[in-house]
Amino acid sequence: MKSEKIYIKVLQNIGFRLFAVLSLLLLFGAQRLPALSVKAEELRDVTESFSISSFAFGNFAKFFDYFAIPLSYTALIMIVFAAVILMLGAISLGLSLFTYRKVQVVNFFVSLVGTLCSIAFSVLLTVSIYEWRNDIDIEGILTFDPNYFLIWLPAALFAIATLFIYTYAKLPGYRIADGKFLRAMGCALNPQNFPRTFKKDDHTEAIFRASVPLKMKKYATISEPDSLKKARKSASKSRRKAEKTKTADPAEASSKKLSNLEIAINKREHAERVANRMVDSENNALRKKKNFKKSSASKKSNSNASAVRLSEAEKRARALEIAKLKAKHAEEIALRNKEI
């Protein structure tokens, strides 16, 4: 029996907005990861790790002030960019919680600016590391150990969030249960549909649903509830009982309703069928013997004919005896049932 699948509404209602929210949450986690570690060469065990949030809250500037090293112009710009990135990320996350299309259009531009600021911050930090290493005032005092993956990770996450925010603004009614995930994203990101974003009535989703047939998908739980298991067991038991009644012997199934005379007639017919089978088997054996005797020499032809005649007479006698036995058997059964 095939197991019925259970619909999970939470999974069916997942849309592009959830991917955007998850990307923004990961962005805030990545902004606090140490992307740059600075070590003082003259002092032992004096190292400090910095992230985007460390730049935004001024920890990087305090570390340079401790060693009386003036910050460059690019470092000051990076501090401003880091603060803007944190602010735009918080605004974008707050706007992503709303389902209005106009709000998501505004959220797209907010996240786009945040993505550009993140890219600019990553570029400035990568360039500044090489400048600080070759700076005469810093050389011999501080050493820089960057993690370029963590430097560019916030920019990538902000770009992914912007992508999903835009697709949600174009297709707000789309759900994962509809299927065609990649084709839906391709339709939303098509440059031809970009001017419709600024109109009051954007028909991108209607055009997509008209051109691409969407099918509802089913999601099965890992473990079924107890109520469904009990219902399934009771259904299987009832099916087994029905199958047993169908496959039972018709004579046994109808024995409760048939009379004694009808039972005797059925048994008589059954005895006749058995006797006929026996006669047929004997006839087949006699035919085989006949064919074998025909292939023998011509001297034994007369004996073969007499044997066949005898076999026919024996067959008739045996058939008569079997018929008599049938009649006696049926009469005995009928009398026995009447006495009972």
Q: Please give the single-letter amino acid code of residue 137.
A: D
Query: What is the rounded distance in angstroms from the CA atom of residue 223 to the CA atom of residue 211?
Result: 37
How does DSSP assign 149-196, residue by residue? HHHHHHHHHHHHHHHHHHHHHH-TT--GGG--HHHHHHHHT-GGGSGG
pLDDT for 9: 58
99-144 pLDDT, tens digit per residue, is 888 898 899 999 999 999 999 999 999 988 888 877 766 767 788 8
Burial zone of 288 (CB within 10 Å; 0-12 exposed, 13-18 middle, 19+ buried): exposed
Query: What is the rounded distance in angstroms from the CA atom of residue 275 to the CA atom of residue 319?
Result: 8
196-223 pLDDT, tens digit per residue, is 787 777 778 887 777 776 654 444 444 5
Angle at 20 between CA 16 and CA 23, to 5 degrees: 140
Of 123, 129, 111, which is closest to residue 165 (Cα–Cα)? 111
Report the range of poorest mean pLDDT among 13-17, 149-153, 228-232: 228-232
If one compares 31 and 279, the residue with the highest pLDDT of the two is: 31
Mean pLDDT score, 276-292: 67
Distances 22 to 30, 85, 106, 117, 169 between C-alpha atoms, Å: 12, 17, 19, 20, 17
Query: What is the rounded distance in angstroms from the CA atom of residue 209 to the CA atom of residue 19?
Result: 21
Which tokens belong to 187? Answer: 């339709």
Query: What is the rounded distance in angstroms from the CA atom of residue 36 to the CA atom of residue 167?
Result: 34
Mean pLDDT score, 169-196: 82
pLDDT for 206: 80
pLDDT for 327: 78
Distances 117 to 14, 35, 106, 154 between C-alpha atoms, Å: 29, 17, 17, 10
Cα-Cα-Cα-Cα dihedral of 74, 79, 80, 85, to 10°? 120
Max distance between CA atoms of the chain, in angstroms, equals 138
Are 329 and 268 in contact by the 8 Å Cβ rule? The answer is yes
pLDDT for 1: 35
Which tokens belong to 215? Answer: 């099918």
pLDDT for 220: 45
Which tokens belong to 92? Answer: 């974008």
pLDDT for 59: 85
pLDDT band at 12 (very low <50, low <70, confident <90, very high): low
Of 34, 38, 35, 37, which is closest to residue 142 (Cα–Cα)? 38
Distances 66 to 95, 141, 142, 245, 249 between C-alpha atoms, Å: 40, 12, 12, 93, 99
pLDDT at 178 over 80: no
If one compares 273 and 27, the residue with the highest pLDDT of the two is: 27
Report the range of poorest mean pLDDT among 63-72, 130-139, 188-197: 130-139
How does DSSP assign 26-85, residue by residue? HHHHHTTS--EEEEESSSTT-EEEE-HHHHHTTHHHHHHHHTT-PPPHHHHHHHHHHHHH
